[in-house]
Structure 1
Amino acid sequence: HLLTDAQIEELSKVDVTPDSISHIVFTSGSTGTPKAVQIRHRNFMAYMETHVIQTNDIVLQFTSSSFDSHLDEINGALVRGAQLVALKNGGHFDFDYVTKTIYDKKVTYIGPVPSWLNALGKFLNENHHAQQRVKSVRCWYLGGETLLSSTIIQLLPFVDEQSRFFNLYGPAEITVVATCHEIRREELSTTVSLPIGYPLIGYCIYLLDEYRQPVVPGQLGEIIIGGEPSAFYYE
Structure 2
Amino acid sequence: MKLLHTIHEYQQTKPTQPAFVSQHASITYDELWHLSDQMAGAIDAVTNDSAPVIVYGHMEPEMLISFLGSVKSGRPYIPVDISIPAERIVSIIESSKASLLICANEQNVLDVEEHIEVKSAASLLALEKEAPPSSQWVQQDDVFYIIYTSGSTGKPKGVQVTAKNLESFTEWMCRDFPIGEGRTFLNQAPFSFDLSVMDLYPALQSGGTLYCLVKDLVNKPKDMFAALGQSDVEVWTSTPSFVQMCLMDPSFTGELLPDLKVFLFCGEALPVSVASALLERFPKAQVFNTYGPTEATVAITSIEVTQAILDQHDSLPVGYAKPDTDIVILDEEGKNLPDGEKGEIVIVGPSVTRGYLGEQALTDKVFFEYEGRPAYRTGDAGVAQDGLITCHGRLDYQIKLHGYRMELEEIEYHVSETTHVNACVIVPFQPNGHVEYLIAAIVPAAHSFEKEYQLTSAIKKEMADSLPAYMIPRKFVYLEQLYMTPNGKVDRKRIAKEVLL
Instruction: Assess same fold via TM > 0.5.
Output: yes
Alignment of 1:169-188 (within 5 A): 169-188=291-310
2: CA distance between counterparts of 1:205 and 1:90?
Answer: 39
Aligned positions, number: 231
Q: Structure 1 residue 63 and structure 2 residue 63: aligned? A: no
- The CA distance in 2 between the partners of 1:30 and 1:116, in whole Å, is 25
- Deviation of 1:146 after TM superposition, in Å, equals 1.4
Could you say which residue in structure 2 is the equivalent of 1:137?
A: 260
1:201 shift after superposition: 2.4
Q: 68, 90, 102: which one pairs with 2:216?
A: 90
Quick one: percent identity of the two aligned structures? 28
Letter of the structure 2 residue corresponding to residue 3 of structure 1: L
Residues 55 and 109 from structure 1, CA distance in 2 versus in 1: closer, same or farther, beyond 3 angstroms? Answer: same
* Distance in 2 of aligned mates of 1:198 and 1:190: 16
Name the SS of the counterpart of 1:188 in structure 2: helix
1:7-22 alignment runs, 5 A limit: 7-10=129-132, 12=134, 14-22=136-144
Q: 1:107 aligns to what?
A: 233
Q: Which amino acid aligns with 1:204?
A: D
Q: How far apart are residue 224 of structure 1 and its match? A: 0.6
Q: What is residue 87 of structure 2 aligned with on the other side? A: none
- Between 96-105 and 48-57, report the one with greater CA deviation: 96-105
Amino acid at match of 1:173: E
CA contact (8 A) 1:21 1:41 kept: yes
Residue 220 of structure 1 aligns with an amino acid whose one-letter code is K
After superposition, residues 187-206 of structure 1 pair within 5 angstroms as: 187-206=309-328
Correspondence 1:40 to 2:166: no
**Contact 1:26–1:172 (Cα < 8 Å) also in 2:** no
SS of alignment partner, residue 50 of structure 1 = helix
Cα gap change, 1:96/1:186 in structure 2, threshold over 3 Å: closer, same or farther?
farther
State the secondary structure of the residue aligned to 2:146.
strand
Looking at structure 2, the residues matched to 201 and 131 of structure 1 have their Cα atoms a distance apart, in angstroms, of: 32
Q: Single out whichever of 31-40 and 2-11 deviates more from structure 2.
A: 2-11
Q: Paired residue for 2:275? A: 152
Distance 1:64 1:139, change over 3 A: same
Cα deviation code 1:198-219 (max 9, x no counterpart): 1112211110111211112332
CA RMSD of aligned residues (A): 2.3
Q: Answer whether contact 1:148 1:192 (CA < 8 A) is retained.
A: no
What secondary structure, in the 3-state scheme, does the structure 1 residue paired with 2:129 have? helix
1:73 counterpart residue number:
199
Distance 1:196 1:156 in 2: 17
The structure with more radius of gyration = 2
Give 1:28 deviation, angstroms: 3.1
Higher relative contact order at CA 8 Å, sep ≥6: structure 1 or structure 2? 1
Deviations 1:8-46 (A, max 9, x none): 423656243211111001233258643211111111011
Say which structure is richer in strand: 2
Corresponding letter in the other structure for 1:208: L
Question: Does structure 1 conserve the Cα–Cα contact (< 8 Å) formed by 2:138 and 2:144?
Answer: no
CA contact (8 A) 1:27 1:173 kept: no
Unaligned runs of 5+ in 1: none
Q: Classify 1:24/1:224 alpha carbon distance in 2 versus 1 (closer, same or farther; 3 Å).
A: same
Q: Select the residue among 317, 335, 338 that pairs with 1:216.
A: 338
Answer yes or no: is 1:117 the counterpart of 2:259.
Answer: no
- Give, in whole Å, the separation in 2 of the partners of 1:232 and 1:13: 22
d(CA) in 2 for partners of 1:200 and 1:93?
35
SS at match of 1:118: helix
1:132 alignment partner AA? E
Give the C-alpha shift of residue 185 in structure 1.
Answer: 1.7
Q: Structure 1 residue 102: deviation in Å?
A: 2.8
Which range moves more in the overlay, 38-47 or 15-24?
Answer: 15-24
User: What is the CA–CA distance in structure 1 between the aligned matches of 2:307 and 2:129, rounded to whole Å?
Assistant: 52
Structure 1 position 110, deviation (Å): 1.2
1:164–1:222: structure 2 CA closer, same or farther, 3 Å change rule? same
The Cα of 1:61 is off from its aligned counterpart by: 1.5
List gaps (5 residues or longer) in structure 2: 1-121, 358-501
SS at match of 2:167: helix
Alpha-carbon separation, structure 2, partners of 1:50 and 1:168: 12
1:152-193 per-position Cα deviation (integer Å, ceiling 9, x unaligned): 22233321x231111111111111101111111223244332
Q: With structure 2 as the length reference, what TM-score do the two structures score?
A: 0.43
Shift of 1:233: 2.7
Conserved? CA contact 1:36–1:234, under 8 Å: yes
Amino acid at match of 1:98: M
Q: Which residue identity does 2:160 align to in structure 1?
A: Q
Q: Tell me: CA distance 1:229–1:131, structure 2 relative to 1, closer, same or farther (3 Å).
A: closer
What letter is aligned with 1:145?
E
